[in-house]
Structure 1
Amino acid sequence: MDPSERERARQRDAHLGARSKGDPPGRADVIASWRRVSAAGVDPGGRPRIAPLDEAEVQRRRTHHGLDRITSELTPYLQSVVDGGHLVVVTDADGHVLWRMGRPGVRRFADDLGFVPGSEWTEGNVGTNAIGTALVLGEPVHIQGSEHFVETHARWGCSAAPLRDPWTDEVVGVVDISGPRTAMHPSVLATAAMASRLASMELLERHRRSLEELRTGSGHVLTRVSSPAAVVDRAGHVAATSGLLTQRRVALPDDLQPGVVHLHGIGDVTAEPLPGGWLLRGPTESPLGTRAVLDLDGEPRIQVVAESGPWTRRLTPRHAELLLAIIGAGDGGLGAAALADEVFADPARVVTVRAELSRLRRVLGGLLLTRPYRIAPSVSVEVRLPATGAALLPGASAPVVVRARERLP
């Protein structure tokens, strides 16, 4: 054991032995973390209290916030780190390991520590570690050897930096570089922080492109509205405005649905869903409701009619099947497993269903609600079917389609 690690071990033993009898020497941020995890009841000789997520849930979380696309962008920048024998990890904002990239030897080492896909590396679950402590502090952190709270982690070193989405100002994950203690150096922290910044810049650029697409695609909407109005994306960034807003962003409720809503600093407005965002209209005497038609009489498409005017989007057969099942379930909606059963006759296909619904929500926006999946209650919806069962989504074998065909001539 090198002298630096021997000193870290001595400081950790002093904390575990004395607890509240004064301040042991050492880094202030590490000692504060030791106090937090001690108070949380983490056992320094124990195992994680929370089991890893299953594969389906890991896959669902990978698609959230576009993290699946971010990792492909980071890979070329971090290949030299992997070649140097380190493990590169990306977690979600809850500390769950979503990706690991490294050589077989370091992956096996990580497996022995329980550092596996789906595992939760928060302070409350595994004690002081770079991922969990970075999430608490909101800043890059390096934890070396016996600075870890759990004894078995003393063989490990890690540097982690929070991944922040600059568009929403939310922490959406963590970029972590880890490896055996003897192979780690605090300078690796700069690499983790750089990777986090690169990922944030990529997120920002994607949001900007999406806002420009929203501005280009919905500018005509404002010309149809007589009252002051604005088009905003799902995070409230203003794409276009006609007398309603002067600021560049508005605070939208997390659970925004079509209809009248009160916005701080603005007052009551009527929200109408648009592909990729919302139309916000100033007060009118009698606002019309939103109406949607799932048209399956021919090539599947959805037609949405609101006071600002109609819009139509073509649907893939799979999205049409999902919408047919969701609409048929009524206000109660359906969970992912139930939808998988309706579409694939296999309730275990939740990963595929959630990925498809994530893409569908990018088209429908606030029309489609989650947990469970259902059409917003303020939207009047109908299904337009062909004259014969044979003409309904030809070639589809989804149980929900088969049942619908049986009800037609």
Structure 2
Amino acid sequence: MSYAHLDTYSRLLRGAHEAVATGGAWPESPRNLIKASWRRSLDAGIDLEGKSAPLVYDLASIGDIRKTHPLQPLLPLLAQTLSGLADETGHIMIVTDSDGGVLWREGNHSIMRHADRIGLADGHQWGEHDVGTNGIGTALATGRPVHVYSEEHLMRVLHVWSCSAAPITDPDSGRVIGCVDVSGTARSLHPATVALVAATAKLAETQLAVRMHERDERLRRRFESLRGRPGILLSSTGRVITGDPGGDLGERVHLGKQAGSRLILRDGTAALLEPFSDGFLLRPGPAAAPPGLTLSLLGEGTPTASYGDDARPLSLRHAELLALLALHPHGLTAEQLSFHLYGDDGNPVTIRAEIHRLRGQLGGAIAAKPYRLVCPVEADFMKVRRLLSSGDPAGVARAYPGPLLPRSESPELRRERDELEAQVRAFLLRRGGPEELWAYAQTCNGRDDYEVLERLAALPPTDLRSAAARSRLHS
């Protein structure tokens, strides 16, 4: 991009910044990647006038954290590839953990002194939820290499900087374990630097894969020494190494908190998990029913999911993904999920990252290719539909605390929400008595529903529900 184009783009970004700061409409938006990152950052409460990334590691103990991090053995490779370039061109190389915490930094000493002022230094954290849009945080949030230029940063203090960053995924666990970044002053760092940074991240992943295969081979040799003893060999992360020729378990088994004990596999069979060398052995166990997934997504409260005995609150995005998968039992691709959530503006990469996090929480409940729920599912909104079909007004009133994910802007979920709301209202007006109408009047849409309140106001004057309805009608 030429300097003339950069100047034009910078003016556009400054106008968008002023609109964000004053709460006005954006006159023109930055490119889609940055626009989405700004929205995530603003939702996280990022202060545009913030001055520095937070310090999250005690510098006295950061050495111990580095020693145990899986990227530590690869630091010489990363430094050889990037830090020489960074030093010669007035830039710095950063390597972080999976949350954006800076573990290593090398490069130009003059630039490092400037970087100290904004916390671009050891022990400080650069996730989007910490400092807003930036190369490290946005690469980790999207799961892809990114270049963030000057005013594309949301915090004004970062406008003199540009950065190119790429996430690094561990092939053993399948999880992002860190990020590599080159940062410098805005116009000295060419956008093409992101290609070199991305290639360096891929090189690191290749080396991690080589080390993984070496560990696998050592485990296989020890496993073969058991001479036919039955079992399936897993890595320490649950990845299937050998013993499952039909591929029934998929690529990995979710170990969760059950390592060393009894597991329920995704086909509903039980197995015993035994520590074996640096991994695990799965052995046949007594049959058992697979755990079920229960979704509570109706009403204004926090959506929740219960998987087996484990109940947890859900973010809106995870609740939306689970609702869509429940509505599509045969599964959806990342592209389809993205379209159902965002329409044409969706990004399948973001969906894959969110599904990866969700699978980490719910283990074997979600399969891939396509993404689908592979366990018994009970969702409150699906239960309401069944009760409507069975003609049970009391059951509908008890089971319907309010609309499906009322904060969701997903096009498909909005349609599902509106249709379910209309059906519940019409059914209770037609078939419901005072108890059922009063229950509906406690929902967010029923509180001010004129027809429902008129029905309740017609109850005997001694009925407290009648007085409450008349009060709402005249308020």
What's the TM-score, normalizing by structure 2?
A: 0.55
Residue 263 of structure 2: aligned partner:
261
Kindly state the Cα deviation for residue 77 of structure 1 after the two structures are TM-superposed: 1.6
Q: Which amino acid aligns with 1:257?
A: A
- Give the 3-state SS of the residue equivalent to 1:201 in structure 2: helix
* Pair member with larger Rg: 2
Residue 109 of structure 1: aligned partner:
114
Kindly state the Cα deviation for residue 36 of structure 1 after the two structures are TM-superposed: 2.3
Residue 35 of structure 1: aligned partner:
39
Higher strand share: 1
Segments of structure 1 that go 5 or more residues without pairing to the other structure are 286-409
Residue 364 of structure 2: aligned partner:
none
Residue 85 of structure 1: aligned partner:
90
8 A contact 1:222–1:241 mirrored in 2: no
Q: Which amino acid aligns with 1:75?
A: A
Q: Relative to 1, partners in 2 of residues 1:234 and 1:266: Cα closer, same or farther, differing over 3 Å?
A: farther
Q: Return the alpha-carbon distance in structure 1 between the equivalents of residues 152 and 26 of structure 2.
A: 18
Q: 1:153 aligns with which of 145, 158, 173?
A: 158
Q: Relative to 1, partners in 2 of residues 1:202 and 1:170: Cα closer, same or farther, differing over 3 Å?
A: same
Question: Structure 2 matches for 1:223-238, cutoff 5 A?
Answer: 223=228, 225=229, 228-238=230-240
1:33-64: per-residue Cα shift (whole Å, max 9, x none)?
A: 22222232211112347333112553343244
Q: Which runs of 4+ in 1 moved over 6 A?
A: 242-245
Q: Return the alpha-carbon distance in structure 2 between the equivalents of residues 237 and 99 of structure 1.
A: 29
Q: Return the alpha-carbon distance in structure 2 between the equivalents of residues 143 and 243 of structure 1.
A: 45
What's the TM-score, normalizing by structure 1?
A: 0.63
Kindly state the Cα deviation for residue 255 of structure 1 after the two structures are TM-superposed: 2.2
Residue 217 of structure 2: aligned partner:
212
8 A contact 2:162–2:189 mirrored in 1: yes
Q: Return the alpha-carbon distance in structure 2 between the equivalents of residues 161 and 215 of structure 1.
A: 33
Q: Relative to 1, partners in 2 of residues 1:243 and 1:170: Cα closer, same or farther, differing over 3 Å?
A: closer
Q: Does 1:71 align with 2:92?
A: no
Residue 51 of structure 2: aligned partner:
47
8 A contact 1:42–1:124 mirrored in 2: yes
Kindly state the Cα deviation for residue 232 of structure 1 after the two structures are TM-superposed: 1.6
- Give the 3-state SS of the residue equivalent to 1:231 in structure 2: strand
Q: 2:177 aligns with which of 172, 175, 178?
A: 172
Residue 189 of structure 1: aligned partner:
194
Q: 1:59 aligns with which of 60, 63, 88?
A: 63
Residue 141 of structure 1: aligned partner:
146
8 A contact 1:97–1:117 mirrored in 2: yes
Q: Return the alpha-carbon distance in structure 1 between the equivalents of residues 248 and 37 of structure 2.
A: 44
Residue 291 of structure 1: aligned partner:
none
8 A contact 1:8–1:147 mirrored in 2: no
Q: Which amino acid aligns with 1:69?
A: P
Segments of structure 2 that go 5 or more residues without pairing to the other structure are 288-475
Kindly state the Cα deviation for residue 155 of structure 1 after the two structures are TM-superposed: 0.8
8 A contact 2:270–2:286 mirrored in 1: no
Q: Which amino acid aligns with 2:195?
A: A
Residue 251 of structure 1: aligned partner:
253
Residue 383 of structure 2: aligned partner:
none
Q: Relative to 1, partners in 2 of residues 1:222 and 1:280: Cα closer, same or farther, differing over 3 Å?
A: farther
Q: Which has the higher contact order (CA 8 A, sep 6+)?
A: 1
Q: Relative to 1, partners in 2 of residues 1:248 and 1:215: Cα closer, same or farther, differing over 3 Å?
A: farther
Q: Return the alpha-carbon distance in structure 2 between the equivalents of residues 74 and 141 of structure 1.
A: 18
Q: Which amino acid aligns with 2:98?
A: A
Q: Relative to 1, partners in 2 of residues 1:64 and 1:11: Cα closer, same or farther, differing over 3 Å?
A: farther
1:260-280: per-residue Cα shift (whole Å, max 9, x none)?
A: 222223621122211210122
8 A contact 1:159–1:186 mirrored in 2: yes
CA RMSD of aligned residues (A): 2.5
- Give the 3-state SS of the residue equivalent to 1:182 in structure 2: coil
Kindly state the Cα deviation for residue 23 of structure 1 after the two structures are TM-superposed: 5.5
Q: Return the alpha-carbon distance in structure 2 between the equivalents of residues 243 and 159 of structure 1.
A: 42
Q: Return the alpha-carbon distance in structure 2 between the equivalents of residues 244 and 273 of structure 1.
A: 23
Q: Relative to 1, partners in 2 of residues 1:199 and 1:16: Cα closer, same or farther, differing over 3 Å?
A: same
Q: 2:102 aligns with which of 86, 97, 101?
A: 97
Question: Structure 2 matches for 1:356-375, cutoff 5 A?
Answer: none
Q: Relative to 1, partners in 2 of residues 1:165 and 1:15: Cα closer, same or farther, differing over 3 Å?
A: farther
Kindly state the Cα deviation for residue 9 of structure 1 after the two structures are TM-superposed: 4.5
Kindly state the Cα deviation for residue 72 of structure 1 after the two structures are TM-superposed: 1.8
Q: Relative to 1, partners in 2 of residues 1:242 and 1:164: Cα closer, same or farther, differing over 3 Å?
A: closer
Question: Structure 2 matches for 1:280-359, cutoff 5 A?
Answer: 280-283=282-285
